[in-house]
Structure 1
Amino acid sequence: MTLCNRIVALAVVSFSLLSCSESVTTEQSSKKYNYVVIFADDMGYGDLGVYGHPTIKTPYLDQMAAEGQKWTNFYVGASVCTPSRAALLTGRLPIRSGMAGEHNRVLFPDSEHGLPESELTIAEQLKEGGYATACIGKWHLGHKEQYLPTNNGFDYYFGIPYSNDMDNVILQNANSYQSYFDFWKGPERQNTASFNVPLMRNTEIIERPADQNTITKRYTQEAIQYIKRNKEKPFFLYLAHNLPHVPLFASDDFRGKSLRGIYGDVVEEIDFSVGQVLNTLKDEGLAENTIVVFTSDNGPWLIMNSEGGSAGLLKDGKGSTWEGGMREPCIFWSPGNIKPGVIADLGTTMDLFATFSSLSGLEIPNDREMDSVDLSSVLFENKASDRNDMFYYRNRELYAVRLGEYKAHFITQGAYGQPAKEYHETPLLYNLNVDPSEKYDISTEHPEVLAEIEKLVEKHNSKMIKGEDQLESRTPN
C-alpha cells in the first residue's frame, strides 16, 4: 500500500470512529432518562454489606453496586435531615435558601415555615421538560399545605411530612436531651402508637398515627405502582424512606431476621425494597432508560447506640461536620449506560440537579448561585469529576472545607449532645485520601495547603448571601 493510500485509509478509519463516537453522544443526549432517587434516613457510611458491614446483609444493594458505580467520596449538603433534603432538591447549600437554622437544626410539627416558594426544586425543573414527578416517603421541608411536595413540583405525594420520631405523645413536654434519650431506653419506643405521625396522600391525612411496622413495604408498593402507571412517559421518582431513623420498625417478614438486631432488620428490608424497585424497572423494560441513585440524608445517629448505625472507618456521625456526619454510601445504576466501577472522585447530592438537568437538556437557572456540578461525564465516560471542593456547614456557620484530598476544620464539634464547639486559630488539616478517619492533623506540615483553602473560603464568602432563617419561627404551645 502506498503512503498516499495509507493516509487515506487512516483518515477513513478516524472519521468512522469519530462518527461512531458522535452518534453515541447524540443518542445519549437525546434519551429521555427516568430518574429514581432512593434516599435513606440516618444510614451510615458503614451500614451496607458493599461498604463493609460484616453482619447486615444487603444483596440487592451489593448487586446494584456491582452493576453500577459505587462512590466512596460522596457527600450530602448537611449532617441533619431538613437542610440535607433541601440541598438535594434545590442543588444549593441550604444556607442559601434559609433551610439551615441558627437554633433549630430541623423543622418540627409546630414550625411555621418550610422551603421558600422562590426555590426551584429538581421536580419543578424536570416538569419543565415534560416529566411526571412523585415524592414517596419522608418530606421534612414543611408540613403546611403551601410547603408540601404537591406545591414544590411533585404531581403526587404519599408519605409522612416530617421525622418519624416527632409528634411523640409521651414526650410532648420534654425539655431536655436527657428526657428524650431516657424515652429510648423504655419499651414505649417500640410502640408505633407512641408517635402520632400522620401519613398523607397529596394534601390529605389518610392515617394517624402511621403504622410504621408496614411503612417501608407500603412505600415500596406505592413506588412500584407509580413506575407501572408512568412507564409510557419520562418520570422522576423521589423515594425517601423515613428509616433507619429511630424509632425502628420492620414488617413481619424482616423483624428478628438479621444478625444486627432491629437496626439490621430495618436496613435489610430497605435493601429488599431497592431490589423490588430495580426488578420492576427490569420487568417493565425500563432499566436501560432509567438512572437510579441510592444514598442517605446524613450519617448515623451514634448516641442511639445499637439502634443507630455505623459510619465505618469515618469519624463521628449525624449532626457533625466530621466525615461520618456528611460522607454517605452512594450507588448509581443504569445498565448499559453507567460505566460500572468504584469512583473515588468527589460528588454530592446537590450535583443531582445539574446532572439530571444536563441529561434532560434543561438549562441550569442563572438567576441564583448554584452549588451543583454535572456528574454525567463520570457516570457515562469514567472521566474525572468536575467537583473538587466541599463546604461543610453546621447551622449557619462554615465549619470545614475540603479541597481535593485535603480538609480543613475551622470549627469542630461532635454530634447531638456533645461538648461545645471549638474554634481553631490554626485550622486542623487532614489528607482524606491517606487518613479518612481524620486522626492525624498535618496543619503544621502543610501551611501552603491551608493558605490555598483559605483563599477558596474567601472567594466562597464573597458570593454567599444567606437566606432568612426558615427554621426559627415556631408556634408557641
Structure 2
Amino acid sequence: MQYNKFLIGALIILLSSNLRVIAQNDSSKPNVIIFFTDDQGYQDVGVFGSPLIKTPNLDKMADEGIKFTDFYSASSVCSPSRAALLTGSYPPRVGVPKVLWPNLEGGLNNQELTIADMLKTKGYNTACIGKWHLGDEAQYLPTTQGFDSYYGIPFSNDMSVNPKSKVSEDILFREGMTIDSLREQKWRGRKVPLMKQDEVVEYPVDQTTLTKRYTENAVDFITENKDNPFFLYVAHSMPHIPLYASTEFKGKSARGLYGDVIEEIDWSMGKILETLEKLNLDENTLVIFTSDNGPWNLKDGQGGSALPLRGFKFETYEGGMRVPMIAKWKGKIKAGIVTEEVASTIDILPTLAYLTGAELSEKPIDGKNMWKLLSGKKMKSPHKKEGFYYYSNTTLQAVRKGDWKLRIVKDKVELYNLKTDISESKNVALSNPKIVKKLQKMMVEFDSDLKENHHQYN
C-alpha cells in the first residue's frame, strides 16, 4: 500500500513536471523576434560570402536553421520596406510607397493590421526597438501600431528632429542643444532624437552607443517576458550612413568602419540568441534575420556589397531588393537548410498568423504563408504561381516568376534568367518574346488589381 502511494506520488510529480515543460514550449504561441538591419547588402554576412566581415553568430544561426538565397524585401528603400514587412503587403497597397521625412505629413495608417496588432489579439506582449520610419507624428508612432513599448529613433540616422515632437521632462540634451534649438525649424542633419514611447528622451542621440543600447533593451524585454508570449522587432539603425560603432568594435574589422558596424550587429544577434538559450526559450522562439533593402552605391568604403548581384539601394535590380535572410527555431526548423526558393518579407505576417491562429485582415494582402518552406517540410516558393513584384514608389518595374525576371523601366525591356545569370548581365528579351509577353501581361494585370484594391481608411 505504501509502495502504491509512493508510485502514485512519483507519477503526479512527473506528469506535473511534463505539463510545465509543455506549457513553456507551447508552439501554438511561439515567441517571435524579427531582426531587421538597415541597408545591409546581400553579401555582408559571412555565410553569404563576405570576404572580410566576420559574423560568427549569424553563420552559426544559419548552420542551425535555414538560409534563403532568394529572399526579397518589398522595396529598395526604407519606409516602404518597413510598411511591407509589418503589413504583409506591397507598399503601394498600404499607402507608403516612398521614403517619409521628419515634420512632414504621412505615415502608416494606424488602421492597418500590423504584425504587432495581430499578435496582440493572441495575448502577446510586443516591443519595437530601433528605427521606425513609418511616420513621426503621434498617430503613426509604434505605440499606435500594436507595440506596447518603443525605444529608438523615429527615422533614418542621417535625418533631423521634428520640432513638434513631444519631449520628456527628463530629456538629455547633448552637443549644446537645448529645447529652443529642438523647436527650431532648422534642418540639422545627423542630429536625430532618441525616443521612448512617444517622447524624445535624448537629443541628439549618441549614435556610437545605439547598437549596444538597442541590444540591452532587447535582452531586458526578453527577460521580463520569459513567461509570456512575446513579439520583439529589433530594427537596427545601421549600416545606414552615417556609420557609427562603439569603442569596443571601432577599428577592429578588416572591412573598415562598415565592417565594424556589421560585426557589432552580429554581436547583437549573438547576445539575443544567448539570452534565449539561458532562459530556455530557444525551443519556443522563431528568430528571423534580414535587411530592409540593398546597400548604398558608395566608393569610399562606407557602403556595403550586394555581390554577385547587380544594383544597389534605390534600384529594382536584384542588388536593391534581394537581401540576406536567416531563420532559426530549434526543433521546428530543420538545421543546415539552404533554399533557393523565392520568398519575401511580405510572407512573414501570414506565416505568423498560421503559426499562432491569429486572424488576418479582411483587406487584401500580398504575402503568403511560407511555413512549409521555412520549416524545410516542403521546398516550394509561396510565389510560384503569382510571381513576385518589384515596385519603385507607385510604379511596378519588374516581376519574377520562377527563374525568369522581366524589368521594364523607361521603355527599356530587360529579361534575365536568374538561375543562370544571377548578376543580370545578359538581357535575353529579344530571343524570348513569348516569355516577355507573358510576364508583361502578368505585370499589367497585377498592377491594375493592386491599384483597384489598395487599402482605404475611414
Q: TM-score, normalised by structure 2?
A: 0.85
Please name the residue that 2:155 is paired with: 162
- Does the residue aligned with 2:277 lie in a helix, a strand or coil? helix
How much does 1:196 deviate? Answer: 1.9
Indicate how the Cα distance of structure 1 residues 469 and 161 shifts in structure 2: closer, same or farther if over 3 A, else same: farther
Query: How many aligned residue pairs are there?
Result: 404
Q: Is the 8 A contact 2:25 2:283 kept in 1?
A: no
- Does the residue aligned with 2:298 lie in a helix, a strand or coil? helix
Identity of aligned residues (%): 48
Does residue 358 of structure 1 match 2:344? no
Indicate how the Cα distance of structure 1 residues 52 and 381 shifts in structure 2: closer, same or farther if over 3 A, else same: closer
- Does the residue aligned with 2:339 lie in a helix, a strand or coil? strand
Q: Is the 8 A contact 1:72 1:330 kept in 2?
A: yes
Please name the residue that 1:406 is paired with: 404
Does residue 448 of structure 1 match 2:446? no
- Does the residue aligned with 1:95 lie in a helix, a strand or coil? helix
Distance 2:377 2:441 in 1: 30
Distance 1:162 1:208 in 2: 14
Indicate how the Cα distance of structure 1 residues 264 and 368 shifts in structure 2: closer, same or farther if over 3 A, else same: same
Please name the residue that 2:217 is paired with: 222
Q: Is the 8 A contact 1:29 1:361 kept in 2?
A: no
How much does 1:429 deviate? Answer: 0.4
- Does the residue aligned with 1:407 lie in a helix, a strand or coil? strand
How much does 1:297 deviate? Answer: 0.4
Which string of whole-angstrom CA distances, capped at 9 and with x for unpartnered residues, describes residues 162-220 of structure 1?
00000189xxxxxxxxxxxxxxxxxxxxxxx9622110110111100010000000000
Indicate how the Cα distance of structure 1 residues 349 and 423 shifts in structure 2: closer, same or farther if over 3 A, else same: same
Indicate how the Cα distance of structure 1 residues 66 and 370 shifts in structure 2: closer, same or farther if over 3 A, else same: same
**Which amino acid is 1:140 matched to?**
H
**Which amino acid is 2:58 matched to?**
L
CA RMSD of aligned residues (A): 2.0
Distance 1:194 1:465 in 2: 35
Q: Structure 1 stretches of 5 or more lacking a match?
A: 1-26, 170-192, 412-421, 471-477
Which string of whole-angstrom CA distances, capped at 9 and with x for unpartnered residues, describes residues 362-402 of structure 1?
2222x322111111111224312222221111111111111
Q: Is the 8 A contact 1:78 1:393 kept in 2?
A: yes
Residue 267 of structure 1: which of 262, 265, 273 is its match? 262
| Pairing of 1:96-107 with structure 2 (within 5 A) | 96-100=93-97, 105-107=98-100
How much does 1:451 deviate? Answer: 2.4
Q: Structure 2 stretches of 5 or more lacking a match?
A: 1-23, 163-187
**Which amino acid is 2:204 matched to?**
P
- Does the residue aligned with 2:324 lie in a helix, a strand or coil? strand
Which string of whole-angstrom CA distances, capped at 9 and with x for unpartnered residues, describes residues 13-64 of structure 1?
xxxxxxxxxxxxxx99953111000000000001111110111000000000
Does residue 334 of structure 1 match 2:329? yes
Does residue 463 of structure 1 match 2:449? yes
Please name the residue that 2:66 is paired with: 69
Which string of whole-angstrom CA distances, capped at 9 and with x for unpartnered residues, describes residues 280-326 of structure 1?
00110000100000000010011363111010100011000000000
Distance 2:100 2:431 in 1: 42
Indicate how the Cα distance of structure 1 residues 305 and 232 shifts in structure 2: closer, same or farther if over 3 A, else same: same
How much does 1:335 deviate? Answer: 1.2
Stretches (4+) displaced over 6 A: none
Distance 1:28 1:391 in 2: 37
**Which amino acid is 2:112 matched to?**
E
**Which amino acid is 1:358 matched to?**
Y
